[in-house]
Every structure is written in C-alpha cells, then in structure tokens.
C-alpha cells in the first residue's frame, strides 16, 4: 500500500459519511469550541477571498471535506466552484450538499490531475498542506496548484509556517517558512499576504513559550466538554479578533495569499 493509499484510508475512516465539523481538523475538541475556531477562519478567509471573488471567476477548493469553504465561495457570489477531495466519501457528500458545482476525487499531489491547466482564477487549500507528510508529494502539490492557476490567479492556503525546524507527527508535518517560500518561488507563485488566524485558540506550534504551551493545554483539555468549550470560545473569540488584527504573525496556523507570476 502506498503512502497516498494509507492517507486516503485514514481520512475515509476519520471523516465517515456525514463529515462532522470537528472531524476535519480538531480531534478531541468539542464541536462547540471548534465552531468558534471556524468563525475565526471564516473572518480571515473572507478578508482574503473577497478580493478575488468575481461573479465570472472559476474557483477550485482542494481538500473540501464537508464543503465549508465551498459554501463561503458561493456566499461571495462566485458562480463556478469546483470542489475536490482525496476521498470518495467527501466527494459523495459534496455532491449531495451542493447543486451547480463540480466535485472531483483527486490526489492533488500526484502526477496525474484530472483538471485542465490554467483553468482557475483562484484556488483555496485550507488545512490540507500540513497533512501531506511526504516532502516530494508536498512540493508536487504546490506545483500542481500553480499549474492549475491562470496567470495572475490567486492561491489562498493555510500552513503553520514555522520559524524553526520542521515538526513531524503521524498524518501531519509542519514545515519551515523559508522552505515553503522557496517551493512557492520555484513554482512561480509570489506571496502577497500572510496573516495569523489564531494566537490563543490553537496549538502554538511556532512558539517556544512554555506559558503559551501550558495555556493551550489547559484550554484544549477544558474545551473537550461542549458547555465549557462554548464558553471558552465565546470569551476568547473577541480577544483573538483583536490580536489577529494587530499582529503580523502568529504562533499557530496562518493564511497566505499568493499570485501566479505571469510567464
């Protein structure tokens, strides 16, 4: 069994047929707390995506899962949205939930992509790249995004952008910022914006502060309870809005927008 087959089986088993919100990126946390995290993601995503969301734009969402960001593209008024996922489970769910979109199963880090080159004005890849554990696969995935974008098109994605060495765990790898920027440059993609999504409400993988790590350990443990998770999220959300607005970088997941440099 290849690495890709193992990853596909992992996500098929993890997501299940209904793809609940907490299953996509936050194992162990209550859905009540995760819903506040998605509010922060929505806020940051809409801030970047609305700059490129035109009625006649063609958009591709990679690793769509249950279609959360497909829905956001549609809310922005984009008429032509293509959803994709590595699992047939997600593709089937996407086809049930959305009308008027194309949903395709694909491994976007493979050598064979079932989509035409330079056919999209924008591509979103949210909470997907750090789940590609193989480095060669990771680089190919970014190159494929560049290949699918029209010249001048925009790639919006999330990563942890570490300022230290890579951190590897089962089914997840966080890579250094300079490594990611080099791959983007070699693929013909130019970073134009990078902003934090979280400061206090996610694992501070890019922080050396023991106090910050302890804070997150307490928050995550308490947030396993739905009632406590909702209250903690409600209290921390406005603080996160302020912090992510004024800080240029964060200790956790960040969102970057890149432009495909015309040849």
Q: For 190-237, how does the pLDDT look when each residue is reduced to its tens digit (9 = 90+)?
A: 999 999 999 999 999 999 999 999 999 999 999 999 999 999 999 999
Mean pLDDT estimate for the chain: 89
Nearest Cα to 255, choosing from 44, 66, 28? 44
Please tell me the predicted confidence (pLDDT) of residue 61: 97
Please tell me the predicted confidence (pLDDT) of residue 223: 94
pLDDT at residue 147 is higher than 90: yes
User: At 6, is the pLDDT very low, low, confident or very high (cuts 50, 70, 90)?
Assistant: low
For residues 98-124, one letter each, b for 16 or more C-beta atoms within 10 angstroms of the residue's C-beta and e for the rest, the string is beebebbbbbbbeeebebeeeebbbbb
User: At 242, is the pLDDT very low, low, confident or very high (cuts 50, 70, 90)?
Assistant: very high
Calculate what percentage of the chain has a pLDDT beyond 70: 90
Question: According to the per-residue pLDDT averaged within each range, which of 17-21, 26-30, 102-106 is highest?
Answer: 102-106
Interior CA angle at 23 toward 138 and 227, to 5°? Answer: 135
pLDDT at residue 27 is higher than 50: yes
Please tell me the predicted confidence (pLDDT) of residue 263: 76
3-state secondary structure of 131: helix
Mean pLDDT in residue range 21-32: 67
Can you list the domains of the chain with their CATH numbers?
Answer: 3-29+43-197+248-260 (3.40.50.150)
Q: Where are the alpha helices (DSSP H) in the chain?
A: 3-15, 21-25, 31-49, 68-75, 88-97, 135-148, 177-186, 210-222, 226-246
Mean pLDDT in residue range 156-168: 95
Pairing of strands 80-85, 167-169: unpaired
The residues facing 193 across adjacent strands are 257
Pairing of strands 80-85, 254-260: unpaired
The larger pLDDT score, comparing residue 203 to residue 21, is at 203
Nearest Cα to 177, choosing from 163, 190, 187, 165? 163
- What whole-number distance in Å separates Cα of residue 5 and Cα of residue 108? 13
Pairing of strands 167-169, 172-174: antiparallel
Residues 6+ apart with CB under 8 A from 163: 176, 177, 206
Look-up of token digits 């035409």? 116
- What whole-number distance in Å separates Cα of residue 48 and Cα of residue 195? 10
Please tell me the predicted confidence (pLDDT) of residue 8: 46
Question: What DSSP string runs through 250-261?
Answer: -SS-EEEEEEEP
pLDDT at residue 22 is higher than 50: no
Please tell me the predicted confidence (pLDDT) of residue 90: 87
3-state secondary structure of 18: coil
pLDDT at residue 168 is higher than 70: yes
Calculate what percentage of the chain has a pLDDT beyond 90: 75
Question: According to the per-residue pLDDT averaged within each range, which of 44-58, 95-109, 140-154, 159-173 is highest?
Answer: 140-154
User: At 41, is the pLDDT very low, low, confident or very high (cuts 50, 70, 90)?
Assistant: very high
- What whole-number distance in Å separates Cα of residue 205 and Cα of residue 208? 8
Please tell me the predicted confidence (pLDDT) of residue 21: 46
Please tell me the predicted confidence (pLDDT) of residue 11: 41
User: At 141, is the pLDDT very low, low, confident or very high (cuts 50, 70, 90)?
Assistant: very high
3-state helix, strand, coil in the chain (%, to 5): 45, 20, 35
pLDDT at residue 23 is higher than 50: no
């Amino acid at each position: 069994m290849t690495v890709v087959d193992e990853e596909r089986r992992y996500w098929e088993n993890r997501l299940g047929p209904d793809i609940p919100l907490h299953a996509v990126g936050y194992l162990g946390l209550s859905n009540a707390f995760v819903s506040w995290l998605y509010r922060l993601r929505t806020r940051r995503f809409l801030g970047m995506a609305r700059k490129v969301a035109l009625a006649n734009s063609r958009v591709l969402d990679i690793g769509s899962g249950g279609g959360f960001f497909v829905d956001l593209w549609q809310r922005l008024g984009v008429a032509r949205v293509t959803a994709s996922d590595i699992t047939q489970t997600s593709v089937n769910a996407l086809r049930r939930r959305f009308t008027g979109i194309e949903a395709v199963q694909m491994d976007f880090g493979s050598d064979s992509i079932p989509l035409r080159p330079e056919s999209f004005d924008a591509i979103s890849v949210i909470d997907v790249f750090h789940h590609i554990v193989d480095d060669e696969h990771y680089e190919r995935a970014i190159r494929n995004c560049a290949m699918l974008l029209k010249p001048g098109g925009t790639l919006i994605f999330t990563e942890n952008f570490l300022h230290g060495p890579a951190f590897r765990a089962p089914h997840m790898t966080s890579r250094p910022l300079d490594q990611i920027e080099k791959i983007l440059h070699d693929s013909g993609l130019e970073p134009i914006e990078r902003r934090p999504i979280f400061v206090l409400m996610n694992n501070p993988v890019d922080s050396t502060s023991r106090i910050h790590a302890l804070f997150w350990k307490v928050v995550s443990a308490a947030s396993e309870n739905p009632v406590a998770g909702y209250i903690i999220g409600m209290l921390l959300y406005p603080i996160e809005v302020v912090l992510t607005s004024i800080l240029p970088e964060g200790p956790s997941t960040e969102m970057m927008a890149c432009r495909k440099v015309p040849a």
